[in-house]
Amino acid sequence: MSILEEISSELQTGNHEAVGRLTSQAIEDKVAVRSILDDGLIAGMSVVGGKFKKHQIFLPHVLLAARAMYAGMDLLKPLMIKNDIKTIGKVVIGSVKGDLHDIGKNLVGIMLKGAGFDVIDLGSDVLPEKFVETAKSENADAIGMSALLTTTMSGMKDVIDLMKTEGLYGKVKVVIGGAPVTKEFAEEIGADSYAFDGINAVETLKSFIGTK
Ligand code: B1M
C-alpha cells in the first residue's frame, strides 16, 4: 500500500493519530502537497461519504473521519500558504445558515490565502445578515459561500437577495460552491460564479478582482 492509500485508509477508520503521523511522513518524503490532499485525505473522505449515503456507516463515524481529515489538513495548511505575499483582494467566506460542514470551505479559505487573498472566515452556519454586514464593514471585494446540503443551498439566495436590498449586489462579487451546488444554480440565484474547488475559486476570484 502506498503512503497515500494508507492516509486514505486510516482516515476512513477515523484514526486521526495515524493520519497525522502519515501526513507528516509524506511531507518529509516530499510527496506533493496537492497529492496528499487529493489522493490521500479527500480520497478517503469520498469513500466515507459513499458509505454514509448507503447507510453502511453512521454519523459518529463520519465525525471521526472529519477529525482525522483535520489532523492532516492542519499539517498541510502552512505549506499551502506562502508568506510575504501581497494581498490581491478581500474575500468574506462562510458556510451558509444551517450548514455545519466546514472542511471544504476551510480548504477553499486556505487556497485563497495561499494565493494572496485577505480572507475573513465567518465559520459555519452563517446568517445572511452576517455575510452582508461583514462585506460592508470590511469593504470586501467578494463573498464566498459554501453549502453541502441540498436543504441549505437556498440560503445562498437569501444572501444575494439581502445584498440587493442593501445595495451591495453588483459591487461585491459572489462565488458559491459545495458538493450539491452547480453552475446552473449559481445562474438561477444570480451569483457571479460557481467554483468547483479551491483552485477554481482562486482563478475565478482573480479574474473578477483583476477586472474590478
Ligand atoms: Co454530512 N452530509 N451531514 N457531515 N457529510 C454530506 C454532505 C452528504 C452528501 C452525505 C451523504 O449522504 N452521502 C449528506 C448531504 C445530502 C444532501 O443534502 N444532498 C450529508 C448529511 C445528510 C448530513 C446530515 C444532515 C446528517 C444527519 O445529521 N443525519 C448532517 C447535517 C449537519 C448540518 O450541516 N446541519 C451532517 C453532518 C456531518 C458531520 C458534522 C458529521 C460532518 C461534517 C464535519 C465538518 O465539516 N466539520 C459531515 C461530513 C464530513 C460529510 C461528508 C461525508 C464529507 C464532506 C467533506 O468534508 N468532504 C459528505 C459526503 C460527501 O461530500 N461526499 C456529507 C471533503 C471536502 C474537501 O469536500 O466539502 O465537497 P467538499 O468541498 C469541496 C468542494 O465541494 C468545493 O471545494 C472543496 C474542496 O475541493 N467547495 C467549494 C466547497 N465549498 C466551496 C466554496 C467555494 C468553492 C468551492 O466558493 C466559495
Sheet of strand 173-177, all strands in order from the earlier edge strand to the far edge: 117-121, 89-95, 142-146, 173-177, 193-194
Mutate to test the pocket of ligand 1, among 148, 174, 185, 205 (most ligand atoms within 8 A of CB): 148
DSSP string, the chain: --HHHHHHHHHHTT-HHHHHHHHHHHHHTT--HHHIIIIIIIHHHHHHHHHHHTTSS-HHHHHHHHHHHHHHHHHHHHHHS-SS----EEEEEEEBTT----HHHHHHHHHHHHTTEEEEE--SSB-HHHHHHHHHHTT-SEEEEE--STTTTHHHHHHHHHHHHTT-BTTBEEEEESTT--HHHHHHHT-SEE-SSHHHHHHHHHHHHHT-
- What confidence tier does 188 reach under pLDDT thresholds 50, 70, 90? very high
Q: Which of 162, 171, 177, 169 is nearest to 209 (CA)?
A: 171
Probe target for ligand 1 pocket from 56, 59, 62, 108, with the most ligand atoms within 8 Å of CB: 62
User: Grid coordinates representing 153?
Assistant: 443551498
**Residue 132 alpha carbon to ligand 1 centre in Å:** 24
At 202 the pLDDT is: 92
Confidence of residue 85 (pLDDT cuts 50, 70, 90): low
Q: Ligand 1 mean position to 210 CA, how many Å?
A: 31
Mutate to test the pocket of ligand 1, among 101, 193, 208 (most ligand atoms within 8 A of CB): 101
Distance 188 CA to ligand 1 centre (A): 22
How do residues 123-140 score in pLDDT, each as one tens digit? 999 999 999 999 999 999
**176: pLDDT strictly greater than 70:** yes
Confidence of residue 6 (pLDDT cuts 50, 70, 90): very high
Task: Please report the pLDDT score of residue 211 as a whole number.
Answer: 46
